Amino acid sequence: MAAATLRSAAAAAATRVRQGGGLRRLGTAAEAEREGGARWELSAAREYYDYRKSIYGDVTHRALLVDAVGTLVVPAQPTAQVYKNIGEKYGVTLSEDEILARYRRAYEQPWGRSRLRYVDDGRPFWQHIVTCSTGCSDLQYFEELYQYYMTEKAWKLCDPDAENVFKALRKAGVKTAVVSNFDTRLRPLLHVLKCDYWFDAVAVSAEVAAEKPNPTIFLKACELLGVKPEEAVHVGDDRRNDIWGARDAGCDAWLWGSDVHSFKEVAERIGVEVAK
């Protein structure tokens, strides 16, 4: 954790141990436990930062790996809403809530056609998901949905300041890669969103033939960047796929939305300051 982040963490910890008017009062056992936890977290963060710094210097990681959907980008509109709005002209009558429930059931079920969900362009898998979610098997409907999710209007960046951060990271010598469970649309999608040049490499499951949390995809990203796994940190929003998978590969890992909340915070934890 960089100095700015440590100061932020220290301030947060101090806030948790102050009660009204700057005076500490006697609290409950639960409050005392939380205060102790905050102090322990700050101490552990300092120790880990010092440990990394002693090995790698001020910049604690040589590479940053980033998850795509849910971390770098998110759908611009709820998926069920898109499925319903486009599907109405094809006879889809289900409500958004019904579509969402059916989508989740279909997505969580094992995909029996292959060991990977996303093979090549992923059409068979996504056609299965769309049909199960909406009850509509019209190929024109599926193709319109499929093409929509290749366009700029279908997605938005999670962090609007990400571009400046990635420029600062690369200027500081930190290599960057996207690591994603996705089909072959990912590369053209990153280009459409004008963020493909932020990254030195892309490791996409449809090309690597391994899906997170399989360590293979993280190891491939490290190979593409020319770094050792222990020199990289991966940031993603899924504890199982991103955190456990990356750590199994030997990488450091931070959970998006919990350990870090912006790419500026990611950069500061690595030791790279980002200009305002």
Q: Is the pLDDT of residue 85 over 60?
A: yes
Query: Tell me: the pLDDT tens digits for 258-272?
Result: 999 999 999 999 999
CATH for 77-154 (1.20.120, 1.10.10, 1.10.3210, 1.10.150): 1.10.150
In this prediction, residue 34 carries a pLDDT of 59
What band does 25 get if pLDDT is binned at 50, 70 and 90? Answer: very low
Q: The pTM is what?
A: 0.82
At 239, list the tokens: 């504890």
In this prediction, residue 54 carries a pLDDT of 74
What residues does 178 pair with on adjacent strands? Answer: 66, 202
Write phi, then psi, for 244 (nearest 5 degrees): -65, -40
Cis peptide before 188 (omega within 30 of 0): no
Nearest CA to 134 among 168, 84, 181?
84
Distance CA 37, CA 43 (A): 10
In this prediction, residue 55 carries a pLDDT of 74
**What is residue 18's three-state secondary structure?**
coil
Query: Tell me: the pLDDT tens digits for 26-48?
Result: 445 555 555 665 566 657 666 77
In this prediction, residue 29 carries a pLDDT of 55
In this prediction, residue 51 carries a pLDDT of 76
The percentage of the chain sitting over the pLDDT mark of 90, rounded to a whole number, equals: 74
In this prediction, residue 2 carries a pLDDT of 45
- What mean pLDDT, rounded, does the chain reach? 87
DSSP string, 35-54: HHHHHHHHHHHHHHHHHHHH
What band does 180 get if pLDDT is binned at 50, 70 and 90? Answer: very high
The domain made up of 43-73+155-270 is a member of CATH 3.20.10.10:
no
In this prediction, residue 30 carries a pLDDT of 54
Q: Is the pLDDT of residue 17 over 90?
A: no
In this prediction, residue 24 carries a pLDDT of 35
Distance CA 204, CA 179 (A): 6
In this prediction, residue 152 carries a pLDDT of 95
Taking every pair of Cα atoms in the chain, the longest distance, rounded to a whole number of angstroms, is: 67
Nearest CA to 257 among 274, 273, 242, 275?
242
- Residue whose tokens read 């190929």: 139
In this prediction, residue 113 carries a pLDDT of 73
Q: How many other CB atoms are there within 10 angstroms of residue 98's CB atom?
A: 15
Query: Tell me: the pLDDT tens digits for 39-79?
Result: 666 576 667 777 777 777 789 999 999 999 999 999 999 99
Segments making up each domain of the chain, as ranges: 43-73+155-270, 77-154
In this prediction, residue 109 carries a pLDDT of 87
Which conformational region is residue 67 in: left (phi greater than 0), alpha (psi within -120 to 50 degrees), or beta? beta
In this prediction, residue 240 carries a pLDDT of 97
Query: Tell me: the pLDDT tens digits for 115-174?
Result: 788 889 999 999 999 999 999 999 999 999 999 999 999 999 999 999 999 999 999 999
Q: Is the pLDDT of residue 13 over 60?
A: no
DSSP string, 158-195: S-TTHHHHHHHHHHTT-EEEEEE---TTHHHHHHHTT-
Q: Is the pLDDT of residue 209 over 80?
A: yes
In this prediction, residue 19 carries a pLDDT of 38
